Amino acid sequence: MTWPFEAHHDELRRSIRSFVEAELAPHAEEWEEEEFPDWVFSRMGELGFLGLTYPEEYGGGGGDYLCNIVLAEEMTRCGCAGLAMGVAVQTDMAVPPVYKFGTEDQKQRYLVPAIKGEKIFCLGITEPDAGSDVQNISTTAKKVDGGWEISGRKIFITNGRRAHVMTLVAKTDRDAGHGGHSLFIIDTDTQGYKVERVLDKVGMRASDTGEISFTDMFVPEDALLGKEGEGFYNISWELQGERLIGAAGSIMGARRTFEAALAYAKERETFGKPIGKHQAIRHALADMATEIEAAQQLVYTAAVKVNRGEYPVREISMAKLLTGVVAWNTANKTMQIFGGLGYSMDFPLQRAWRDARLIRIGGGTDEVMRDVIGKMEGL
């Protein structure tokens, strides 16, 4: 047991680890080629892993925020980052706004089946011309008799092909600036909702990533999630959780990569001794170990503040930035240590190398994180 976790977190960790290693990890290679199947959600719902922090009255586990950190860390043992990301969208990105801003009816219709794994969620923010700049989204929701008419397009939507429900950000008032955005809960079988294509990606290949269009899509009034005009502020809250959980998974993934590099450096010999005995390799591994430990402690510091009910944008932004850089550098240095073996598609390191790159783009780029941190420092 290590800070900041307690005995019940360790018990949860053992349970998740057992499931991941027995039921997910053996399929990593297969799902890298074919995407992971939907039964993963229903199985995790059955085991209670999709609702660790939600109240028991909705089928959740009633745990604290650190339980979600444990889940993000242990999911890295599946050896398939695309799978871990698809699950994280469900647990920490698309569904939390339903609990925080939804009506009781919305919670019963959407939150409860999401926790059970019966409804798979995706999050509709990014557009072809608006990523980190949420204010610039062009998808519109216009008030009409009995509800809303939505038109627009979203891209890079994880779980986009398979989702039953989308938590959507749309512009409801073009002239209201930050106050002109609203959130909606959209059933993906609604007329006018269309999956245009599934994107072919460099990494995270086990997850489906869709481009979605909405053409005069009518949704009823009760599709509005939270209050009209508060969508920008509500989704900004969601983004903090997305960034921190991404940081937690990313840096633990880096630790797994480092462990592989360390083991290889002890076994592989050149010039009559293990390569880890050569100063260049030994120093590279020392730097990696130090950077990973520092980044992980920053994640834990931010997570503890969230667990206390704080809103630590500064620390979360720092954690997101640092873990992304460290995870990528770790994968890149490890590939150098493995040499030609690491570059081979027959060895899983190439997958870690490709997957690690996304954290520096998705959920807010490095540049955006630096800008946020700069503003928090008064610049």
Residues acting as catalytic residues: 242
Q: Backbone dihedral region of 140: left (phi > 0), alpha (psi from -120 to 50 degrees) or beta?
A: beta
Tell me the C-alpha distance between 246 and 240, whole Å.
10
Q: Are 179 and 232 in contact (CB under 8 A)?
A: yes
Nearest to 231 by CA among 295, 178, 278, 301: 178
Tell me the C-alpha distance between 139 and 3, whole Å.
44
Tell me the C-alpha distance between 316 and 312, whole Å.
6
AA letter at 175: D
Helix 231-267 to helix 81-88 angle (10° resolution) is 160
Give DSSP secondary structure letters for 202-223: SS-TTS-EEEEEEEEEEEEGGG
> Rg (Cα) of the chain, in Å, rounded?
21
Tell me the C-alpha distance between 141 and 217, whole Å.
9
Q: Tokens in use for 357?
A: 């790159």
